[in-house]
Structure 1
């Protein structure tokens, strides 16, 4: 019982780290890591305590563990179905393929690992078999690492997106996304409507923040996103003097940086609220922090079918942007696999 209760210690440590780091800056990715670690360690400790004090609870835990493979299968099927839906509704592109590819990998990777492990351990092992088993072990570590990182990212994206900010904005920046035949599509309209709702509430409170619709012209667009967004804002009640479009940016980082220049030129260099879709809030907030902007990010609703693929795209972008940090974090797993391989050779 004492040993089970001691498992709460790491959960409390990670919870304390989460609270301190969140108070320091809500926009840090490590907040999600600490929060997820606190929840996982806390859940493990609670299960251990209940198993020790509640008769028969261990059987319940065992049944839940047996259901894990079914949950993985259900996840894979759901991702594949969502991937097909994305291709039908949004067209063929690399970004729209992500949920389909992820669903296929849910089935392929465990199958490959089991087959390679079975072949490599069938009979007397030689050097190639030992290397194959080590590769399987490293693949398992990689999958677990990526899965936990994604859970941390997704959990904190939801948590951050539900936070409320008290600072009155001097400017409201709306991040652009692709136009459809030069017009604002539903995804982008959702961002603009969220920005308009905030703008109207600020005007009702006696304040006049500027609206900065931000987005340049893509290769497949007849005009700049910022121009089309400004037209929408004006057509839906925003004052012309309060709408300052930014039409040169080509990425989220440029959206934020170029919009800041527009605000500064207009004499509005106070607090900023950035509006994007809910799946994009955390990455946009991280970029705002990297640019040292006094900005927080709020999200607008997204069609449910679009969310899985969008979250995967955002997660991959974050992994790529922090590739060296992730490489360093994964090195202990590589070292451990190398140690197992070395031990295997030593025993020959």
Structure 2
């Protein structure tokens, strides 16, 4: 008799939650959690069925699991290589260091956990042995939590970026991303070109949306991003009467809030399409939802080498923005570790 356990039930439950929540609002981060959960339990179900009906399949799965350490090493090397490339191509900044730091942590954190376990297992049980094991266990739990959270974020970022949004925008907002010597660099040009494509499609359909390039002046910029972006849009065919630059924002949240003010101030109220790079779409969509904007977000292409560091930067930003939720999510791990410590000391 074939027994596959509760995996298909969980897969169906997570899929149901994903479908319901995405239909309610595709901009919610929890959609990524539900989608990832559905995919994981569906994979477990498939593996369980194939292992039961295909001779030798379970052995093949076991051998594949043995390759996980090799995959982790390959991931660490790839991240370090990407970090070095980012520093060479984009300069020495904290954001450009993220993939390099992540690659180093891929090697350092397992090494620290294994060392703590090794040092804490011996013929004599001391207080430091118990504490070392508890710290190692906590590291495994917390790192596992953030690894799963990153996978869910990355998966749904890709899925959300491929959703076809069927709205007729009253405004197309293009988010700024920094100037180089006062001029539009390739990364920002990609956003502007996607915004222009949407604008032209709307004009061809007989509609006249506003084009709102959004970005203030950074400390290292000679002029506001919105001004340079507006010049680019007009130079590439946009009607100057439709280009309404926003030049005061300093963050994505301000981009969205101030651009909405520009839109309504110009008497062009209505739905919004927000344009940013593909790695940034989900976080921009989440912020738009927080501001209760009638908006969806579309992405423009990004240079391949830039994507890993950019995704990491967006993930860190989301973790910081939802820090209390993440602290609450990690609290059971801390409590469980504290319980293990208490039990160990009680038995001594």
Q: What is the TM-score with the length of structure 1 in the denominator?
A: 0.99
Counterpart mapping for 1:148-167 below 5 A? 148-167=148-167
The residue number in structure 2 matching 1:274 is: 274
The residue number in structure 1 matching 2:46 is: 46
The alpha carbon displacement at 1:2 in A equals 5.0
The residue number in structure 1 matching 2:118 is: 118
The residue number in structure 1 matching 2:230 is: 230
CA contact (8 A) 1:86 1:97 kept: yes
Counterpart mapping for 1:81-96 below 5 A? 81-96=81-96
Structure 1 residues 146-155 or 47-56, which shifts more? 47-56
Tell me if 1:292 matches 2:292: yes
Q: 3-state SS of the aligned residue for 1:28?
A: coil
Q: 3-state SS of the aligned residue for 1:173?
A: strand
Tell me if 1:21 matches 2:21: yes
The alpha carbon displacement at 1:332 in A equals 1.4
Report Cα offsets for 1:282-314 as digits up to 9, x if no partner.
Answer: 000000000000000000000000000000000
The residue number in structure 2 matching 1:192 is: 192
Tell me if 1:107 matches 2:101: no
Q: 3-state SS of the aligned residue for 2:173?
A: strand
Tell me if 1:127 matches 2:136: no
Aligned counterparts of 1:122 and 1:214: Cα–Cα separation in 2: 61
Aligned counterparts of 1:144 and 1:50: Cα–Cα separation in 2: 27
Tell me if 1:181 matches 2:181: yes
The alpha carbon displacement at 1:123 in A equals 2.2
Tell me if 1:77 matches 2:41: no
- Name the count of aligned residue pairs: 348
The residue number in structure 2 matching 1:254 is: 254
The residue number in structure 1 matching 2:341 is: 341
CA contact (8 A) 1:18 1:35 kept: yes
CA contact (8 A) 2:8 2:45 kept: yes
Structure 1 residues 1-10 or 150-159, which shifts more? 1-10
Report Cα offsets for 1:321-344 as digits up to 9, x if no partner.
Answer: 000001111111122222222222
Aligned counterparts of 1:344 and 1:40: Cα–Cα separation in 2: 34
Q: 3-state SS of the aligned residue for 2:128?
A: helix
CA contact (8 A) 1:218 1:224 kept: yes
The residue number in structure 2 matching 1:244 is: 244
Tell me if 1:332 matches 2:342: no
| Alignment root-mean-square deviation, CA | 0.9
Aligned counterparts of 2:43 and 2:122: Cα–Cα separation in 1: 38
The alpha carbon displacement at 1:179 in A equals 0.2
CA contact (8 A) 1:5 1:49 kept: no
Aligned counterparts of 1:49 and 1:172: Cα–Cα separation in 2: 48
Aligned counterparts of 2:228 and 2:3: Cα–Cα separation in 1: 62
Q: 3-state SS of the aligned residue for 1:297?
A: strand
CA contact (8 A) 2:7 2:42 kept: yes
CA contact (8 A) 2:4 2:45 kept: yes
Aligned counterparts of 1:347 and 1:42: Cα–Cα separation in 2: 41
The residue number in structure 2 matching 1:35 is: 35
Aligned counterparts of 2:125 and 2:296: Cα–Cα separation in 1: 56
Aligned counterparts of 2:5 and 2:112: Cα–Cα separation in 1: 39
The residue number in structure 2 matching 1:306 is: 306
The alpha carbon displacement at 1:209 in A equals 0.4
The alpha carbon displacement at 1:185 in A equals 0.1
Q: 3-state SS of the aligned residue for 2:67?
A: helix
Aligned counterparts of 2:325 and 2:49: Cα–Cα separation in 1: 35
CA contact (8 A) 1:116 1:132 kept: yes
Report Cα offsets for 1:154-200 as digits up to 9, x if no partner.
Answer: 00000000000111100000000110000000000000000000101
Aligned counterparts of 1:283 and 1:136: Cα–Cα separation in 2: 32
The alpha carbon displacement at 1:5 in A equals 4.8
